[in-house]
A and B are shown apart, each in its own frame.
Chain A
Amino acid sequence: MASADKPINTDVPEKDVFALHFLQSLSNLRRQNAFNSPDDTTNNRVKKIKKAAYVSMARAAGGTNRLWSRALLRRAAKENNKVVIFSRRKKRVTWLRRSNRRDPVDAERLRNLLPGGGAMETSKLMEETAHYIKCLSMQVKVMQCLVDGLSAK
Chain B
Amino acid sequence: MDVSEKDELRNGDTTANYDDESANNNNPPPDWRVSGSNQVSAPNDSYPPENQMMDSFGQTLWYDPTNVQAVGYGGFNGVNNASSSSSSFRGNNNMDRSLEMGWNLLPPKGNGMFLPNASSFLPPPSMAQFPADSGFIERAARFSLFSGGSFSDMMNHHHQQQQQQQPLGNPTESIGLFLPSNVGVAHNDASAAMKESNVVRSSEQGNKQNVPGSGNVSEDTQSSGGGGGNGQKGGEASSKGFDSKKRKRNRQSSEAGQSHRSQQSEEEADNNGDKKRNDEQSPKSQGNKTNSGKQTSDPKDGYIHVRARRGQATNSHSLAERVRREKISERMKFLQDLVPGCNKVTGKAVMLDEIINYVQSLQRQVEFLSMKLATVNPQMDFNLEGLLAKDALQLRAGTSSATPFPQNMPMVYPPLPHGFMQQTLSSMGRNISSPLSPINGGYKRQEANGWEGDLQNVIQINYGAGDVPPDSQAAAAAAAATAASLPSSNMKVEP
Binding site for B on A (CB under 8 A): 1-10, 13-17, 19-21, 23-28, 30-31, 35-36, 42, 45-46, 49-50, 53-54, 73, 77, 82-85, 90-92, 94, 100-101, 104-105, 107, 109-110, 113-114, 121-124, 126-127, 129-130, 132-134, 136-137, 139-141, 143-153
B201 interfacial by beta-carbon distance below 8 Å: no
Residue on A nearest B339 in the bound complex, by CB: A133
Report if A145-B451 is in contact (Cβ < 8 Å); known contacts: A27-B387, A150-B385.
Answer: yes
A sample of 28 cross-chain residue pairs with beta-carbon separation below 8 angstroms, ordered by A number, consists of A4-B302, A6-B289, A6-B296, A17-B401, A20-B390, A23-B389, A24-B489, A24-B490, A30-B379, A50-B367, A101-B283, A101-B324, A110-B352, A114-B359, A121-B288, A123-B324, A123-B331, A130-B334, A136-B359, A139-B366, A143-B369, A145-B439, A145-B455, A146-B373, A149-B452, A149-B455, A150-B385, A152-B438
Chain A residues contacting B375 (CB-CB under 8 Å) are 42, 46
Given the interface pairs A92-B285, A145-B455, the reply to whether A1 lies near B303 with Cβ below 8 Å is: yes
Q: What is the bound-complex CA distance between A85 and B355, given in angstroms? A: 31
Contact yes or no, A15 B495, CB < 8 A:
no
Given A1-B277, A1-B306, A100-B283, A129 contacting B355 (CB threshold 8 A) = yes
* Count, chain B residues at interface, CB 8 A: 90
Contact A143 B303 (CB under 8 A): no
Cβ 8 A contact of A8, one of B277, B285, B289, B486: B289
- Tell me whether B356 and A127 are in contact (CB under 8 A): no
A24 pairs with B493, CB closer than 8 A: yes
Contacts of B447 on A, CB cut-off 8 Å? 15
Given A136-B363, A144-B369, A148-B435, 12 more pairs with CB closer than 8 A: A1-B302, A19-B451, A24-B489, A27-B489, A49-B370, A53-B366, A105-B348, A109-B352, A123-B289, A129-B335, A130-B338, A149-B452
Whether B359 pairs with A107 at a CB distance below 8 angstroms is no
Docked-complex contact B292 and A113, CB < 8 angstroms: no
Contact A4 B296 (CB under 8 A): yes
Q: Is B459 an interface residue (CB 8 A)?
A: yes
B189 at the interface (CB under 8 A from A): no
Contact of B448 among A54, A100, A141 (CB under 8 A): A141
Give Cα A152–Cα B288 distance, bound, in whole angstroms.
47
Closest 4 CB pairs between A and B? Answer: A126-B331, A152-B435, A2-B288, A23-B386
B349: shortest Cβ distance to chain A, in Å? 10
1/0 per residue, CB under 8 A from A, across B250-280: the answer is: 0000000000000000000000000011001
Chain B residue at smallest Cβ distance from A31: B490
Assuming the contacts A6-B289, A145-B452, asked whether A1 and B432 have C-beta atoms less than 8 A apart, the reply is no
What 1/0 mask marks residues of chain B from 376 to 418 whose CB sits below 8 Å from any chain A CB?
Answer: 1101011101110110010001001111000000000000000
Is there contact, CB below 8 Å, between B379 and A35? yes
Which partner residue on chain B sits nearest A32 by CB separation?
A: B379
Chain B residues with CB under 8 Å of A127's CB are 289, 331
Interchain nearest-CB distance for A115 vs B (Å) = 10
Which residues of A have CB within 8 Å of B307? none
Q: Does B310 contact A (CB under 8 A)?
A: no
Whether the pair B381, A46 counts as a contact (CB closer than 8 A) is no
Are the CB atoms of B455 and A123 closer together than 8 Å? no
Residues of B within 8 A of A144 (CB): 369
B363–A126 CB distance below 8 A? no
Q: In the complex the two chains form, is A145's CB within 8 Å of B448's CB?
A: yes
CB-CB under 8 A from A147, the residues of chain B are 369, 372-373, 376
Write out the residue numbers on chain B whose beta carbons fall within 8 Å of the beta carbon of A23. 385-386, 389-390
Separation of A140 and B288 alpha carbons in the complex (Å): 29
Main secondary structure of the interface of A (DSSP, over half): helix
Q: Are B359 and A151 in contact (CB under 8 A)?
A: no
The answer to whether B305 has its CB under 8 Å from any CB of chain A is yes
Residues of B at under 8 Å CB distance from A? 276-277, 280-281, 283-290, 292, 296, 299, 302-306, 321, 323-325, 327-328, 330-332, 334-335, 338-339, 348, 352, 355-356, 358-360, 362-363, 365-367, 369-377, 379, 381-383, 385-387, 389-390, 393, 397, 400-403, 431-432, 434-435, 438-439, 442, 447-448, 451-452, 455-456, 459, 486, 489-490, 492-495
Contact indicator B352/A85 (Cβ below 8 Å): no
A2–B495 contact, CB under 8 A?
A: no
| Bound form: Cα–Cα A126–B397 in Å | 33
Please, which residue of chain B has its CB at the minimum distance from the CB of A150? B377
| Residues from chain A with Cβ under 8 Å of B335 in the complex | 126, 129-130, 133
Q: Which A residues are CB-close (under 8 A) to B432?
A: 149, 152
Closest residue of chain B to A107 (Cβ to Cβ) is B352
B45 to chain A, nearest CB (A): 56
Q: A85-B495, A126-B332, A130-B331 are in contact. Are A151 and B366 (CB under 8 A)?
A: no
CA distance A84 to B493 in the complex (A): 12
Does the CB pair A124–B288 fall under 8 Å? Answer: yes
Instruction: Judge whether B393 and A16 touch: CB under 8 Å.
Output: yes
Whole-angstrom distance between the alpha carbons of A126 and B285 in the complex? 16
Q: How far is the CA of A5 from the CA of B284 in the complex (A)?
A: 13
Contact A134/B338 with A16-B451, A105-B348 known, Cβ cut-off 8 Å: yes
> CB within 8 A of A140: which of B286, B303, B365, B495?
B365
How far, in whole Å, are A73 and B359 apart by their CA atoms in the complex?
19
List the A side residues contacting B459 at CB < 8 Å: 149
Contact between A20 and B328, CB atoms less than 8 A apart: no
B277 contacts which chain A residues (CB < 8 A)? 1
Q: How many angstroms between the C-alpha atoms of A16 and B435 in the bound complex?
A: 22
Task: State whether A113 and B356 are in contact (beta carbons under 8 Å apart), knowing that A5-B289, A19-B393 are contacts in the complex.
Answer: yes
How far is B435's CA from A151's CA once the two chains are assembled, in angstroms? 9
User: In the complex, what distance in Å separates the CA atom of A27 from the CA atom of B330?
Assistant: 41
**Nearest CB to that of A37 among chain B residues?**
B379
Least CB distance from A28 to B in Å reads 5
